[in-house]
Amino acid sequence: MRLKSAVLRLELSSVETRIKRFIKDYVRKCGTSGVVLNVSGGVDSCTTAAISCLALGGRKVLGLFLPEEETYNAVDARHAKAVAEKFGFKLETVDISSALKACFETLPTYAEEDRVSRGNLKARMRMAFLYYYANRLKRIVCGSSDKSETMIGYFTKWGDVAADISPIMDLYKTQVRQLALNIGIPPEIAEKPSTPRLWPGHMAEEELGIEYEKLDLILFGLERFMSSEEIAGQLDLPLKRVEEIKRRWLSTEHKRRTPLTPKLGYRTAGADFRIPYATQ
């Protein structure tokens, strides 16, 4: 198998249909009235919001734009609004700055300079707001994590990844961009650089030290059981670089699973309690 961009090319109409059917089916089986999702203005959340509208109709989709003063970006705000208007869903803006400030002031160990802990709190605050809306409206939270970020653990545990369903979690970032363009997300959104916006100027590729085009091919190789040597050789990358990505993938499994517990009982949640997801 040759690791070239062609291996990441999707059968777009089929993928679109399957994701729409998945959303529609899960919402129906849960008996909820729709979905709530965080629309940050980035490609993942805009695509997820748009495809949710295509699946459910705009009236069953509520987007929340949850800015905070430190990382507020007017372009993201414009993009979120443009997608809401184009796909016909309601977008509410709720500024979370004061809630964050209250947290910072309440925390005895708060440290201004610790931008990771501070940034993660922002993601978790958004999660809390989303679930509040979901509870009030009897809806489910629809996540917009992609496969690239999920595999390397590039997300906030119990933060941006927290959701009831994640319709695009099996698509790499570059595949999300393909899907975005296919369903009519404007190119300026579909192709813009990714940012978690946990702190000012926070850019994903810069922090990761690799472009998504390369990262996705490395992850695709790992998914297909290729060795690091083979991947590095094919992509003309230093072996150390591929090993770093592999280590990130393996060391972040704790972020993707239910919490680990010592096996004590007959059947254990997260281990050998195996119940179908949505029985009716």
Partner 1 sequence: MPKKIDVALAQMDCRVGDKKHNIEVMKRNAKEAREKGADLVVFPELSLTGYLTRDLTYELAETIPGPSVTSLEKIARSEKLHMIFGMLEHSDKARAIIYNTAVLLGPEGLIGKYRKMQLPTHSVFEEKRYFRQGYQLPVFETDIGKIGLTICYDIFFPEIFRLLKLQGAELIVCISASPAVRRKFFEIFTAARAMENTVFLAYTNLVGLEDGLQFWGGSRVVTPSGHIIVQAKYDEEDLVTGEVDYGDLQRIETFVPTLRDLRPEFFDLLKNRTENL
**Strands across the sheet with 90-93, in order?**
90-93, 61-65, 35-38, 140-141
Interaction between residue 257 and partner 1 (CB under 8 A): no
Structure tokens at 231: 């991947």
Q: For residue 208, what is the enclosing H or E element?
A: helix 204-208
Nearest to 256 by CA among 177, 174, 169, 172: 169
The residue within the footprint of partner 1, chosen from 4, 5, 9, 25 (CB under 8 A), is: 25
Which residue is associated with the tokens 């999702």? 37
Other C-beta atoms within 10 Å of 269: how many? 11
- Closer by beta carbon to partner 1, 80 or else 140: 140
Those residues whose C-beta lies under 8 Å from the C-beta of residue 29, and which sit 6 or more positions away, are: 278, 280
Q: Which is nearer to partner 1, 26 or 89 (CB)?
A: 26
**Of 200 and 270, which has the nearer Cβ to partner 1?**
270
Q: Which of 21, 78, 254, 263 binds partner 1 (CB under 8 A)?
A: 21
**Per CB under 8 A, does 247 bind partner 1?**
no
Q: Is 98 helix (H, G, I), strand (E, B) or coil?
A: helix
CB of 255 to partner 1, least distance (A): 19
User: Torsions phi, psi of 50, nearest 5?
Assistant: -65, -45
Identify whether the C-beta of residue 44 lies closer than 8 Å to the C-beta of residue 144. Answer: yes
CA distance linking residue 255 with residue 259, whole number of Å: 9
Given 18, 78, 138, 254, the residue binding partner 1 (CB under 8 A): 18
Among 1, 5, 17, 102, binds partner 1 (CB under 8 A): 17
Report the nearest approach of partner 1 to the CB of residue 265 (Å): 14
* Cβ at position 11, least distance to partner 1 in Å: 11
Task: Give the one residue of 12, 16, 22, 137 binding partner 1; rule: CB under 8 A.
Answer: 22
Beta carbon nearer to partner 1, 16 or 68:
16
In the block, residue with structure tokens 């990441």: 8
The answer to the question of residue 279 lying near partner 1 (CB under 8 A) is: yes
By the rule CB under 8 A, 273 interacts with partner 1: yes
Question: Is 158 a binder of partner 1 (CB under 8 A)?
Answer: no
The piece of 16-24, 75-83, 91-99, 143-151 that touches partner 1 (CB under 8 A) is 16-24
Query: d(Cα 120, Cα 199) in Å, to the nearest integer?
Result: 10
How many other CB atoms are there within 10 angstroms of residue 234's CB atom?
17
User: Residue 67 corresponds to which tokens in the numbers above?
Assistant: 């800015």
Query: 238 vs 276, which CB is nearer to partner 1?
Result: 276
Among 8, 26, 54, 150, binds partner 1 (CB under 8 A): 26
Strand partners of residue 90? 62
> Given the rule CB under 8 A, which residues bind partner 1?
14, 17-18, 21-22, 25-26, 267, 273-280
